[in-house]
Every structure is written in C-alpha cells, then in structure tokens.
Amino acid sequence: MIVSHKHKIIFIKPRKVAGTSFEIALSKYLAEDDIITPVSREDEKIRRKLGFIGPRGFSFSLAKYFSKKPSKRISFFGLRLPHKFYNHISAPQIKRRLDAAAWRDYHKISIVRNPWERAVSIFFWKNTKSWKTPDLAEFTSYFKKNKYLLNINYPNYMIGGKDVIDTYIRYENFEEDILKLERQVPSLAGLWDTFKDINAKADTRDKSRSTAEIFRNNPEVNALVEKMNRWEIEKFSYHL
C-alpha cells in the first residue's frame, strides 16, 4: 500500500495481482514523506537493489502504540506493535486512518484480475510447500472450505458495497492500463518501462493444465466464482 503526497495518489494493494511488482515500480517516484508499507524480505531486496525508496510512514507514533487497536500487528523485539498501514490493508481502514482531505482528493489506484485465473493462482499460492506439490483433486474441497478466498480482494475495492477506486489496472492489460495511468498522472511518466522489468513474487501455479480445464473439472467452484464475483465479471467483461 502506498500513499504519495507528491503525486496525490493512493495505491490500494490486492492479492495475487502482481501488486508487489507494481508497488516496487511506484517506489521509484516516491518521496521521504510518503507512506510505503513493507513487503517481504526478498522483495525488499529487489527494491533496494534498484535504488528505490523503501518502507516509511506506515507506523503509529509511539504515543499511539498503546491507545490504538488496529487489526494488524507485527513482532518487534518480542513485542506486538500495531501498524497504522500495512501491505494489504482494506479501503475502509485506509479511509479511517488517512487524513480526510487526502482520502477525498487523492487518485485511488488498484489492480484487478480475471477471477477464475486469480482463484487458480490463490490455490497454488496457499498450497505450494517445499515438500508438497498441490493436488488439483483437492481444488473443490479447498474452496468449499475457504470460500472467502474467491473474493478476498473486495475489501480493497469497496466501502459499504460501493466501489471507491478511481483507476483500475487490469492484470491482463498491464501495459495499456499503466500507460493510461501515466496520461492521467503525468508525473508518473515512465512507470510502464520501470514496471515491465520487475518480477517480484512469481506465480507458483502449475501451467500444465489450463484454467478452463481446471474449472471444467470443478463445476462447483466455477459456480461460486460466477456468484461471488458478479460485479467484477460484469464491470470488466471477464469470462472463463
């Protein structure tokens, strides 16, 4: 998650949409007083290697550490300290914690992805272990137990059921949509050229079986995706 006061933008980061690569690319354009939440240790190495500005401005002040009770906490020398802002923070939490004028006036950006593709990516992400290859025979049972994962990104897009994002970047159309963003926010010129060479958190899915084949074999999950992602499917004309 990023808030840039210089460019007057807020990047609200969903899951399994190449958000970390986009976030690292945006870091090239940021300033010391911006809000930049941490990513994984390996991804921070990428950011440092590129010479881009790193995490800052995301914690509560010391005086507020014990008066606030946010839902996300971190470990710090054995203590559990709260973050004011964190990686995949929801839109309602950002609105509550950010200056009201910034929330109202800044351009809100997020990334969207075909929900069928996202579901397959999530399945492999959640089930890939060093000692275990995910078994697609468990695809239906897994999502029947974890239905919330099929629309896990909606809190990043919605407040009270209302879409709050000004510009969506489609995972399938990164070049087109990032270049469009550059036209909307001219101070981000060159963002696409920066982004296209960054590959953080590569997808762990098995490419030997297509998404269409996986869902043909798992019609119950297909029905859940259609039901739980109707807004996204209709807005972006997604299909299997």
Query: pLDDT tens digits, residue range 167-190?
Result: 999 999 999 999 999 999 999 999
Percent of the chain with pLDDT over 90: 80
pLDDT at residue 22, rounded to an integer: 97
Query: Which pLDDT score, from 0 to 100, does residue 206 have?
Result: 73
Q: What is the pTM of this model?
A: 0.88
Which tens digit of pLDDT belongs to each residue from 14-39?
Answer: 999 999 999 999 999 999 999 999 99
Q: Of 2-11, 155-164, 197-206, give the lowest mean pLDDT range.
A: 197-206
Phi, psi of 186, deg, nearest 5:
-60, -25
Task: Tell me what pLDDT residue 80 has.
Answer: 54
Q: In whole angstroms, what separates CA 49 from the centre of its chain?
A: 22
| pLDDT tens, position by position, 98-157 | 999 999 999 999 999 999 999 999 999 999 886 778 899 999 999 999 999 999 999 999
Sequence-distant (6+) residues with CB within 8 A of 62 are: none
Q: What confidence score (pLDDT) does residue 74 get? A: 46
Highest average pLDDT, of 72-81, 175-184, 204-213, comes from 175-184
Predicted local confidence at residue 71, as pLDDT: 44
* Res 14: pLDDT: 97
Instruction: Give pLDDT, residue 72.
Output: 46
Query: Which long-range CB contacts under 8 A does 200-204 form with residues at least 24 apart?
Result: 200/18, 200/20, 200/21, 200/24, 200/39, 200/42, 200/43, 200/46, 201/18, 201/20, 201/21, 201/40, 201/43, 203/121, 203/124, 204/121, 204/124, 204/125, 204/128
Residues ≥6 apart with Cβ < 8 Å to 133 = 206
Query: Residues 7-32, buried b or exposed e (16+ Cβ, 10 A)?
Result: bebbbbbbbbbbbbbbbbbbbbbbee
Considering the domain 2-236 in this protein, what is its CATH number? 3.40.50
Please give the pLDDT value at position 202: 63
Rounded distance, CA 44 to CA 50, Å? 10
